[in-house]
A and B are shown apart, each in its own frame.
Chain A
Amino acid sequence: MKNKIFKIFLWAFLISLVLFFLTLIFGLFQQLKITSVQKQFAAGEIFFAIKLTLLTATVSSVIALIFAVPIAYILSRYNFPLKNIVNSILYLPIVISPIALGAMLLIFFNTPVGKFFESNIFRVVFEVPAIILAQFIVIIGLAISLVKSVFDYINPEYELIARTLGVTQSQTFFHVIIPIAKKGILSAFVLVWARAVGEFGASVTLAGATTMKTETMPIAIFLSFASCDIYNTIVLTLISLFIGIIVLYGIHIYAKNRKPPL
């Protein structure tokens, strides 16, 4: 009996949250029915925004993981002086508001270093790389934190055994640790990618809201809302929801069907 009550207790949380989200989505359809169309739906613009969002989120997530994997490995396996301070600095993007991060980046490109970069390497501010950089800065803390928990759960004995068998440290990392951590890293990728897809504050501050240039889906939704165009706001939100669900569901299925490495 006690077990049953406990199970009901657990399920109650799950069901209430899922129902709440479904109610939110249902609310969108309800509002859609009573809201009048204000502006013609610009399919070309929406298609561009979707393409740009998916492209920039994928690039920024890949770059974030390229940085996160070695950093998380160091934080998980080694102790070094000032580790706590370094930890705090790396996780700052998680606690700082995205608009503040965007403003920090915009101000950085006003410093001599930023100006030198823009005039001699390539332009970032108000261009597509600005979206990628903004998304990267917003998700990197989360990426490090997620990948570090994956490494934390891998028993260091695997590495010790590999080393005693005469394998180098890099071989151990690439042929023992990474295969074990692959699934966890993939899950981390999915989460940071999803966060990057929804990123708005930092991107709009650094890249602007230029139609057909730096207009991602969240920016398109904002611009519709800011034009008092509730109808298009809902349509764009539903498109974002649909894409998000399809992609996340697809990746979960893919990850589920893969055989574990060990």
Chain B
Amino acid sequence: MKKVFIIGILLSWANFVCAAEELFFFCGAAVAVPMREIIKNYEKETGVKINVTYSGSGTLLSQMELTKRGDVYLCGSPDYIDIGVRKNLLIKGTDKIVSYLIPAIIVPKENPKNIQKLEDLTKEGVRVGIGNPEAVCLGLYGTELLDDNNLLEKVLPNVVVFAKSCEDTATICVLKKVDAIIGWDVFESWNPKDVKWIKIESKKIPRLSTIPIAIPVFAKDRKLSEDFINYVLSPKKGGKIFKKWGYISDVKKAKKYAPEAKIGGEYKLPEKYFQLIKK
């Protein structure tokens, strides 16, 4: 009996040591819901083990920089790909777009302050939430949206909170702690019973964001990383699941919401933002 037990332990250890191929995946928490499903399917179909860490895009880059590991990286906005390439953490040119994100006004389902357009956020007594513009991509895109429409000075006094992540920005709206947030279109599909997407006039949207996926310089098996990325991007595999959860994977469809908007690229916070928050 004792021998069987010992052999059992040795076999499981051998199995652990000689485990099938595996990938270390740093994944932005904003896509955790569809990604869990995609990973489950991929593991089942290929036998490759995906060790995934969900967190904020910048936090993941910091972890990657300090641990010098990672086979695949997915982030919530293209800015982090630029930072990753600049810091020599990601292989230049390996980034591909998984999905497009459209800036949107998201309100609690009842829309207590009857917000219908961007200008309504300037009304007295409206409590607005945004992501922290210096750390959260959503905050940066939101600030650009307001700045581009000459509303930054008028809306910032109504901003009662900077959330620490995209998901937190969505949560404060679900919990009705604010009357509106500047969020992404997908927030509605995350919580369809609690929040509503108020579409912003297409010409008022200066920029669309993307969810890119890329290969870190630390990738152990680049071919395997590429294989996983292709699975995530495949319309019949990952793409189908993203679509189910309300993500837009087609550029033409995304452009319908904002034909003149730029896609990706960098935006620097204007000096007036710092003056307004008295930094």
Number of chain B residues close to chain A: CB under 8 A: 31
B residues 54-72 in Cβ contact with A at 8 Å: 56, 58-59, 61-62, 65-66
CB closest residue in chain A, given B159: A210
A211 contact from B62, B83, B176, B277, Cβ within 8 A: B277
CB closest residue in chain A, given B278: A212
CB closest residue in chain B, given A211: B277
Give the contact stretch, choosing among A17-25, A145-153, A174-182, A220-228.
A220-228
User: What is the CA–CA distance of A205 and B84 in the complex, to the nearest angstrom?
Assistant: 28
Check if B279 is an interface residue, CB within 8 A of chain A.
Answer: yes
User: What is the CA–CA distance of A230 and B62 in the complex, to the nearest angstrom?
Assistant: 7
Q: Is the CB of B134 within 8 A of A109?
A: no
B165 contact from A42, A107, A211, A226, Cβ within 8 A: A226
Which residues on A sit within 8 Å (CB–CB) of B163?
A: 208-209
Check if A159 is an interface residue, CB within 8 A of chain B.
Answer: no
Which residues on B sit within 8 Å (CB–CB) of A45?
A: 279
Q: A42-B279, A226-B59, A227-B134 given as contacts; is B177 within 8 A of A210 (CB)?
A: no
**A-B CB pair tally, cutoff 8 Å:** 82
Which residues on B sit within 8 Å (CB–CB) of A44?
A: 279
Q: Is the CB of B80 within 8 A of A209?
A: no
Which residues on A sit within 8 Å (CB–CB) of B58?
A: 225-229
Which residues on B sit within 8 Å (CB–CB) of A224?
A: 135
User: What is the CA–CA distance of A214 and B132 in the complex, to the nearest angstrom?
Assistant: 12
A residues 80-126 in Cβ contact with B at 8 Å: 106-107, 109-110, 125-126
Interface of A toward B, CB cutoff 8 Å = 31, 36, 38, 42, 44-45, 106-107, 109-110, 125-126, 204-205, 208-214, 219, 222-230, 233
List 26 A–B pairs whose Cβ atoms lie within 8 Å, in order of A's numbering.
A38-B83, A106-B175, A106-B177, A107-B175, A110-B175, A126-B161, A205-B168, A208-B161, A208-B164, A208-B172, A209-B135, A209-B162, A209-B163, A209-B164, A210-B132, A210-B161, A211-B277, A212-B277, A212-B278, A222-B164, A225-B62, A226-B135, A226-B164, A227-B58, A227-B135, A229-B62
List 13 other contacts, CB 8 Å, given A210-B160, A228-B84: A110-B177, A208-B172, A209-B132, A209-B164, A223-B132, A225-B59, A225-B62, A226-B59, A226-B135, A226-B164, A227-B135, A228-B62, A233-B62
